[in-house]
Amino acid sequence: MSKLVLDLETKRSFNEVGGAHNRAALGVSVVGVYHYDGDRFVAYREEAFDALGEALRAADEIIGFNLVGFDWPVLAAELGDWVRDLPTLDLMLEAQKVLGHRISLDSLAQATLGAGKLGSGLDALEYYRTGDWTKLERYCLEDVKLTRDLYEYAKQHGQLFFSKGMRRAPVAMNFAESPIATLLRECARTQSSVKLVYKGKERLVDVRSFDGMYLKGFCHVAQAGRTFRIDRIEDASKVASNQSLF
């Protein structure tokens, strides 16, 4: 498999663009990528985004931390919405599935690897504003390295750790995709319909997208667009688009 680990830094903060809902306006200063092929770290600046796009399209799997909620929406504004459909393993979502809440990269890295981030996103913004590309790229690629090392640790040990008060607490990690997730990913690719048992109730849904955590589509029961969390889907089966539950 051709695997990548990815992280990016932005040109602007949420405060500058009016809040977290306006991710597309943040801009991308640099994208850091670890290429398993060749064991190399690459920092892609804006003038190299064509090469970045080629690498992303060729990848069988892209690993990151909060890719679905942050990196892909930001990068989509630069490269196009196709990046949202890339084969993604999001370590933050994997941990969230187990814990039921979000957790930071630094918390996982400190507790699991004994090493944390070099600074904060505010530092990266300052490096960009002052044109200190050496520090900016180092900061971004260090986050890529932490993410890669967490992924490798989880593969080897089946768990990561996070800081919970004064102690380390484990979070189980299993990257094998469930049959339901595989089906939903296929339905999203083919824009097919699926019959769900969701929180005890049957739903017929025309699938529009699936990011590994959330299924979005048109629900025939509600007669409206709806979002469904995969951990609340009890069963799923593919159906013809014109099939009815009744």
> Domain holding 168: CATH number?
3.30.420.10
16 and 123 both lie in a single domain? yes
Give the DSSP letter of residue 244: -
183 and 63 both lie in a single domain? no
Domain that holds residue 189: 179-239
**Cut 0.75: pTM above it:** yes
Q: Nearest to residue 149, comparing CAs of 105, 193, 186? A: 105
Banded pLDDT at 177 (limits 50, 70, 90): confident
Q: For residue 196, what pLDDT is reported? A: 94
Q: Does a structural domain hold residue 245?
A: no
Q: Does a structural domain hold residue 186?
A: yes
Q: Nearest to residue 170, comparing CAs of 179, 182, 162? A: 162
- Whether 7 has a pLDDT exceeding 70, the answer reads yes
Picking from 129, 148, 172, the residue at the C-terminal end of a domain is 172
185 and 224 both lie in a single domain? yes
d(CA 65, CA 117): 13
101 and 35 both lie in a single domain? yes
141 and 192 both lie in a single domain? no
Q: Is 238 left (phi over 0), alpha (psi -120 to 50) or beta?
A: beta
CATH of the domain at 226: 2.30.30.100
Opening angle at CA 55, ends 83 and 92, nearest 5: 50
Q: For residue 202, what pLDDT is reported? A: 93
